[in-house]
């Protein structure tokens, strides 16, 4: 079980292989294509994070005191971003999720493209993941 | 028989392109292909120079200084009102009000004329293809006044269903506000016909000309519209400035919009009297530099053969329609008979944002999403479109590149099961 920092480091190293934004884009699309689709029963309005450009469904649950995330989007690129976030945050302790700084988003050069995908809900998704972690932490406390 | 497409133009497109510095830029090391003109047009060097020139040589506040610089700035500023009057063939310069853009112009009319004339139970009529900026100001007014917002519907081609207009125009209708050219569909609305019908019932009509002003010659007297709004930045001018045309008798009868300097004649704590039209609607120091640059943008457009430009843009649209409609799964949204050079489409099994980002990695700038026309997307039952919008500086070769890269995007993004 690796920590958030360790997983972020792995992703950052993976992205070192790419110089061009085009290659990063293609890699993120491929991650999106590989992400396990969310079961349709979880694609409900209360799990939906609506953006102008695309929607995200986030399903969070606790197992063995760890928070698990599953998610989906109508955009494959956003699914790729989700895959990165799930890789880093799913299976971690609530406390660690709440305090995660997620510096890898800057390091892999995704932040520069955030203005474009600003409306796609990546920021809202991170906020929702942290909020869910916070809620679970207080439920169990 | 397929209509013939002329790829030759009387215009020297290359020498026009030379005048737009941004068109020489690259994106990710690839030549920039700019197809987001419906969002904002690029600016020719003369417009950029006009802004610099003002700040470098005669920056001063206008209409109050006795000094040389202020007089020079005032003269340059005032001259633009005359240029705009000529540009849209308004009867008087006094009918031209400088605003921040089309959005502010709609808000101005809704807040003044609207507040004055719309009461409980009255109706405001707009259309199904309005930009949010021609929906929300009227909704705010209707909420405040307990009035009703009514909508002219459109058909599957994205054309207004004008056969319904006689039922929609009632004694309760206090104003019609209609988009001239749809930003998300490209439809050119028969506004003159709507205006004539509304006028038969004594109802004034406002036209949102944000998209039409760069593409076609505007004649507000021929249209006989009561208000006409546009933004400078979509017609080679700077952002942050636009114009509202209003018929003089209406403007004179309307209350002021915002209070402040310039819009007053005399102020005391007991009573303020207002300045005459148009100053009554221009509180505070205006956007002097950008108004002056708008004048330069008008000069630039006037220097071109605008008839030839309209023909060339029509051929760009026809060529793009031909090239894109053969791509697998691609469906054009907005197939009106009368269309401006805007092409909006969806691709089966491919998300619009993903495709737009794919094109971006190749240096092609398009717009994806709802284009600030959420009700249009709801009407067509789609989450959003990919939109390419062309201006006279675009080329057939750029459209070839768009088609080629879109074809690759479809290959790359489409799930294998759909192919």
pLDDT at B400: 98
pLDDT at A115: 58
Chain A CB contacts of B369 under 8 Å are 52-53, 119
Question: What percentage of chain A carries pLDDT values higher than 90?
Answer: 55
pLDDT at B263: 87
Chain center to CA of B357: 25
Backbone angles phi, psi at B20, to 5 degrees: -110, 100
Of A76, A116, A119, the CB nearest to B351: A76
Mean pLDDT of A117-128: 72
pLDDT of A118 > 60? The answer is no
Residue B410: band (very low, low, confident or very high) from pLDDT cuts 50, 70, 90: very high
Query: Beta B30-31 vs B33-34: how paired, if at all?
Result: unpaired
pLDDT of B7 > 60? The answer is no
**Pick from B251, B252, B394: which is nearest to B320 by CA?**
B394
Query: Among all residues of chain A, which has the CA nearest to that of B351?
Result: A75
Give the Cα separation of B338 and B345 in Å (integer).
17
pLDDT at B418: 45
CB contact under 8 A, A54 and B361: no
Residues of B designated catalytic: 372
B413 touching A (Cβ < 8 Å): yes
Lowest mean pLDDT among A60-69, B100-109, B313-322, B391-400: A60-69
pLDDT of B10 > 90? The answer is no
* Helix, strand, coil share of chain B (percent; to 5): 45, 20, 40
CB contact under 8 A, A52 and B368: no
CB contact under 8 A, A22 and B28: yes
pLDDT of B219 > 90? The answer is yes
**What are the strands of the beta sheet with A48-50, ordered from one edge?**
A48-50, A55-63, A66-73
Cβ pair B224, B206 in contact under 8 A: no
Lowest mean pLDDT among B4-18, B233-247, B365-379: B4-18
pLDDT of B9 > 90? The answer is no
Q: What is the pLDDT of residues A2-30, one digit of tens each?
A: 899 999 999 999 999 998 999 999 999 99
B353 touching A (Cβ < 8 Å): yes
Chain B CB contacts of A78 under 8 Å are 353
B157 touching A (Cβ < 8 Å): no
Chain B CB contacts of A119 under 8 Å are 369
Q: In a mutagenesis test of the B interface, which of A28, A76, A113 is the best target, namely the one with the most B β-carbons within 10 Å?
A: A76
**Pick from A32, A33, A34: which is nearest to A82 by CA?**
A32
Could you tell me the CA-to-CA distances from B374 to A78, A95, B14, B64, B271 in Å, in that order?
A: 21, 39, 37, 45, 44
pLDDT of B84 > 70? The answer is yes
> How many CB pairs (< 8 A) connect A and B?
48
Cβ pair B127, B305 in contact under 8 A: no
Q: In a mutagenesis test of the B interface, which of A32, A34, A35, A52 is the best target, namely the one with the most B β-carbons within 10 Å?
A: A52
A76 touching B (Cβ < 8 Å): yes
Mean pLDDT of B171-198: 98
Chain B CB contacts of A52 under 8 Å are 369-370, 384
Q: What is the pLDDT of residues B118-163, one digit of tens each?
A: 999 999 999 999 999 999 999 999 999 999 999 999 999 999 999 9
Q: In a mutagenesis test of the A interface, which of B184, B357, B384 is the best target, namely the one with the most A β-carbons within 10 Å?
A: B357
B354 touching A (Cβ < 8 Å): yes
B362 touching A (Cβ < 8 Å): yes
Mean pLDDT of B210-235: 97
Mean pLDDT of B233-255: 98
Model-level pTM? 0.92
pLDDT at A116: 58
pLDDT at B3: 46
CB contact under 8 A, A22 and B361: yes
Task: Kindly provide the ipTM of the predicted complex, given to two decimals.
Answer: 0.89
Q: What is the pLDDT of residues A75-92, one digit of tens each?
A: 899 899 989 999 999 999
The overall average pLDDT reported for chain A is: 87
Chain B CB contacts of A117 under 8 Å are 353, 357
pLDDT of B229 > 80? The answer is yes
CB contact under 8 A, B361 and A74: no
Of A21, A33, A75, the CB nearest to B353: A75
Of B360, B362, B369, the CB nearest to A119: B369
**Angle at A16 (CA atoms; ends A13, A20), nearest 5 degrees:** 150
Query: Among all residues of chain A, which has the CA nearest to that of B361?
Result: A22
Q: What is the pLDDT of residues B325-349, one digit of tens each?
A: 999 999 999 999 999 999 999 999 9
Query: Among all residues of chain B, which has the CA nearest to that of A73?
Result: B351
Cβ pair B364, A22 in contact under 8 A: no
**Pick from B375, B368, B331, B133: which is nearest to A52 by CA?**
B368
Residue A52 known to be catalytic: yes
The secondary structure of residue A37, as a DSSP letter, is: P
Question: What percentage of chain B carries pLDDT values higher than 90?
Answer: 89
pLDDT at B1: 42
Mean pLDDT of B48-62: 97
A69 touching B (Cβ < 8 Å): no
pLDDT at B315: 97
Query: Among all residues of chain A, which has the CA nearest to that of B365?
Result: A116
Backbone angles phi, psi at B330, to 5 degrees: -85, 130
A42 touching B (Cβ < 8 Å): no
Of A22, A55, A76, the CB nearest to B354: A76
Active-site residue identified among A1, A52, A115, A141: A52
Angle between the B396-413 and B306-325 helix axes, to the nearest 10 degrees?
Answer: 30
Chain A CB contacts of B370 under 8 Å are 52
CB contact under 8 A, A74 and B351: yes
The nearest CA of chain B is from the CA of A85 a distance in Å of: 18
Mean pLDDT of B284-290: 96
């Amino acid at each position: 079980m690796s920590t958030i920092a360790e997983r972020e480091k792995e992703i950052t190293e993976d992205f070192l292989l790419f110089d061009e934004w085009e290659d990063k884009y293609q890699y993120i699309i491929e991650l999106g294509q590989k992400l396990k689709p969310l079961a349709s029963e979880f694609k409900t309005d209360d799990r939906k994070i609506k953006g102008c450009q695309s929607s995200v469904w986030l399903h969070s649950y606790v197992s063995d005191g760890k928070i698990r995330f599953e998610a989906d989007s109508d955009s494959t690129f956003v699914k790729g971003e989700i895959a990165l976030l799930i890789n880093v945050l799913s299976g971690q302790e609530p406390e660690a999720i709440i305090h995660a700084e997620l510096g890898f988003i800057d390091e892999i050069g995704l932040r520069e493209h955030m203005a474009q995908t600003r409306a796609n809900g990546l920021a809202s998704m991170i906020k929702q993941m942290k909020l869910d972690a916070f809620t679970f932490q207080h439920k169990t406390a | 028989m397929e209509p013939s497409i002329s790829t030759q133009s009387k215009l020297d497109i290359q020498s026009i392109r030379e005048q737009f510095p941004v068109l020489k830029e690259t994106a990710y090391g690839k030549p920039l292909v700019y197809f987001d003109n419906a969002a904002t047009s690029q600016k020719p060097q003369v417009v950029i120079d006009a802004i610099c020139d003002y700040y470098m040589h005669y920056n001063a506040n206008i209409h109050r200084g006795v000094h040389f610089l202020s007089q020079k700035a005032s003269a340059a500023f005032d001259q633009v009102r005359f240029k705009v009057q000529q540009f849209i063939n308004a009867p008087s310069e006094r009918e031209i009000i400088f605003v921040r853009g089309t959005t502010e112009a709609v808000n101005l009319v809704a807040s003044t004329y609207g507040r004055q004339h719309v009461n409980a139970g009255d109706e405001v009529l707009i259309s199904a293809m309005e930009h949010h900026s021609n929906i929300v100001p009227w909704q705010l007014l209707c909420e405040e006044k307990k009035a009703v917002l009514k909508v002219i519907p459109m058909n599957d081609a994205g054309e207004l269903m004008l056969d319904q207009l006689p039922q929609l125009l009632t004694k309760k209708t206090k104003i019609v506000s209609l988009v001239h050219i749809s930003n998300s569909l490209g439809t050119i609305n028969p506004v003159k016909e709507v205006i004539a019908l509304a006028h038969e019932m004594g109802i004034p009509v406002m036209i949102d000309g944000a998209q039409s002003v760069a593409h076609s010659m505007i004649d507000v007297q021929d249209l006989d519209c009561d208000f006409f709004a546009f933004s400078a930045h979509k017609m080679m001018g700077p952002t942050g400035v636009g114009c509202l045309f209003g018929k003089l008798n209406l403007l004179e009868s309307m209350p002021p919009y915002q209070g402040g300097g310039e819009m007053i004649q005399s102020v005391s704590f007991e009573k303020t009297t207002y300045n005459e039209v148009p100053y009554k609607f221009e509180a505070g120091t205006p956007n002097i530099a950008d108004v002056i640059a708008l004048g330069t943008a008008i000069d630039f457009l006037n220097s071109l053969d605008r008839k030839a430009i309209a023909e060339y843009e029509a051929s760009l649209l026809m060529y793009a329609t031909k090239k894109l409609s053969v791509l697998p799964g691609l469906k054009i949204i907005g197939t009106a008979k009368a269309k401006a050079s805007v092409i909006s489409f969806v691709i089966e099994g491919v998300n619009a944002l993903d495709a737009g980002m794919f094109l971006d990695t190749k240096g092609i700038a398009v717009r994806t999403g709802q284009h600030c026309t959420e009700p249009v997307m709801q009407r067509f039952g789609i989450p959003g479109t990919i939109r390419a919008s062309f201006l006279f500086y675009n080329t057939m070769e750029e459209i070839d590149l768009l088609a080629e890269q879109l074809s690759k995007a479809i290959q790359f993004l489409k799930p294998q099961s759909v192919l």
